[in-house]
Every structure is written in structure tokens, then in C-alpha cells.
Copies of this chain bind each other. A is one copy, B any other.
Amino acid sequence: MPSEFELIRKYFTRPTKHTRLGVGDDCALVQTTPGMELALSTDMLVSGTHFFPDADPFALGHKVLAVNLSDLAAMGATPRWGLLAMAMPKADEAWVEAFSRGFFSLVDKYNVDVIGGDTTRGPLNFCVQIMGEVPVGAALMRSGAKVGDDIWVSGEIGDAALALAHLQGRVKLTDASLAICLPRLHAPAPRIELGLLLRGLAASCIDISDGLLADLGHILDRSGVSAELWLDALPRSTAIRECPEKALAQNCVLAGGDDYELCFTASANHRAAIEALAEASGTWLTRIGKINSGRGLSVLDTNHQPIEISAIGFDHFKQ
């Protein structure tokens, strides 16, 4: 069986492009670009909590990096460096090779230098630290929402949660619906390009990892404002629209996590610019509500009446 050092050398050590010292010393050494600041985030993915123990290793390698890149997208940062720590119950070389290919597929796409990590024995667990750069003062933050802002969301939401519901036997989807939903769960696409385009336009931004209500709620908390969402406006895929369990589908849209779309707010003055950006970049952007004064979050139905919100997003330790 290959040793820890051999595994790292063979599957996780690639030439770096913008790093002074990469894998192989006690620390990596990097220099940030003048005029830029560093955006940093970390996410830990655990077997049984974030993915099924028998998850496909290629898809898992992709997803582990995607969810971290999504945090950079939400700040409008350009991906630069990453570190990967992992615990595995045993060193299964074929599994590690496939995982590594999935991981590096996104590394290559976004020009990330993998500059360090750790490999150890233990229950399956992956922890990535991602670093990007953003011009000083240009980062998109949760705290910038202003009264009167439009609320926007990219793509369609709820698909990943709907796929999970199917896999857990809570709904039975058609093959056509699964073809839409499953890739959203297994191979989410971080909205890096969109985040970069939103610099200077969005007043606040977050990626939807815990569900629309929970994540928009973070923007509201940090900005000290309230919001109304328009239920009919929320962008739904064919899979969501054709789901036989209507309540479940609505729950997925409002509170399903793992979509990794961006939810952002912007002044109404930027509405035309954002619509133009959507068209030019081929990205669906939908206006789904507005920011109001006060506190709280209400979801309005067709008749502009607030609906009962029972699902309030996902909290790992909430009972």
C-alpha cells in the first residue's frame, strides 16, 4: 500500500503557477498581488453528513472544491490558492486517484494553485481552505444590502434538495427530472464568473448553501434590514414544477441547500445593467423580491399575502 507521502506526491502535487513555494515544506509561501486583498474561507465535508459514504469519488472531489469556490464567488474574488486536508479510513489508491481527478478538474478550470494539505487516517472527511484575491474594497459582502434594493438570484433553486429527497426515498422523480436534479447535487458549478461580474453592481451577496431563506436571512441580519420575497417569481426548474409533492417542492425552493447559486441585492438603478449582464453572460438572473426597512423576512404569495414559513433552513446541530 502506498504511504501517505507517496499518495500526496502522486495524486496531489502538481506544478504551481503563481506560488513561490508549494507542497513539500512545513508551510507554503505565497505573495499577494499589490492592490488586492485576500478572501479566505474553509469548508469541511463529512461522510454521512454532506455526502453518502458510497459517493462516486470523482464527483466528490469536484464537489469538495466547488463548495469552497462558491464562497469566493459570493465575495467576487478570483480563485488563487487552495489547501486540502483529508482523513480516510484506508488508503485505497484507485479511490484516491478518482477523487484527485475530480478535484483537479476544478483546480484546472479556475487556475487554483494547490499549495498544501494533510492526509491522515480517520473517518472520511475533507477540509479545503480556499483563497482568492479581490481589489481592496471591491469585495461583495453580506452587510451591504440597502432599503429599496432588488433581490436577485442566479439560475434555478431547489434542485439539489429535490435530488436528495429522491435519494432518501421522500419522493419518486421521473428519469427526466433526475437528469436535471442529480447533477445539481453531485456536481454543483460555483458561480465564479458571475461573482466577478457583480463587482460594482451588487450591494450584498451570498451563496445559497443552506437554503434561500436561511442564506438571505444572513444578508438581512448583517445589513440590518428586512425583505419580501415573491413566491411566484422564484426560478424553478422543470423538475421542481413537475414534482408530484407540491409542498416538498416548495420547501426545496425556499429552504433547500446545496444549490450554490448566488443571491444578491442591488440598487434598482443597476437593474438594466444586471439584465444586460445576464444576457451577455448567458446566466439566468431573476428578480425575486426587495429589501425593506425593519427586520424580518416574509414570502408573499400570488395575492401578495405572506405565507407561513415553517422550514427555516438547515442547521447542522438543530434538532
Beta-carbon contact of A127 and B25 below 8 Å: no
> Would you call B46 and A121 a contact (CB within 8 A)?
yes
> Do B122 and A4 touch (CB < 8 A)?
no
Interface 9-residue window, one of A37-45, A58-66, A179-187: A37-45
Per-residue B-contact encoding for A1-26, CB less than 8 Å = 1, 0 else? 11111010000000000001100111
In the bound complex, do residue B86 and residue A44 qualify as a contact, i.e. CB atoms below 8 Å apart?
yes
Does A291 count as interface, using CB distance less than 8 angstroms?
no
Alpha-carbon separation in the docked complex, A44 to B83 (Å):
12
The 9 closest A-B pairs by CB, nearest first: A46-B122, A127-B127, A27-B39, A26-B74, A123-B123, A44-B85, A129-B129, A91-B317, A27-B41
22 A-B pairs in the complex with CB atoms less than 8 angstroms apart: A2-B317, A3-B315, A3-B318, A4-B315, A21-B141, A24-B222, A26-B41, A26-B75, A26-B206, A27-B40, A27-B72, A27-B75, A29-B134, A30-B37, A31-B37, A40-B83, A42-B127, A46-B87, A46-B123, A49-B121, A91-B317, A127-B127
Question: With A136-B31, A207-B26 given, is the CB distance from A317 to B3 under 8 Å?
Answer: yes
Is A293 among interface residues, defined by CB-CB distance under 8 A? no
Q: Closest residue to A50 on the B side, CB-wise?
A: B120
- Stretch from A97-105, A111-119, A268-276 at the B interface: A111-119
Q: Which residue of B lies closest to A27 (CB)?
A: B39
A50 to B118, CA, bound (A): 13
Complex: A296 Cα to B29 Cα, angstroms? 28
Within 8 A of B (CB), among A64-98: 71-72, 74-75, 77, 81, 83, 85-87, 90-91
Residue contact A46 to B125, C-beta cutoff 8 Å: yes
Contact indicator per residue, chain A 166-210, by CB within 8 Å of chain B (1) or not (0): 000000000000000000000000000000000000000111000
In the assembled complex, how far is the CB of residue A206 from the closest CB belonging to chain B, in whole angstroms?
A: 6
Question: Is residue A132 contacting chain B, with contact meaning CB distance below 8 A?
Answer: yes
Question: In the assembled complex, which residues on chain B have CB atoms less than 8 Å from the CB atom of A141?
Answer: 21, 25
Query: Closest approach, in angstroms, between the C-beta of A46 and any C-beta of chain B?
Result: 3
Among A20, A27, A116, A317, the most chain B Cβ lie within 10 Å of the Cβ of A27
Q: Which residues of B contact A21 (CB under 8 A)?
A: 139, 141
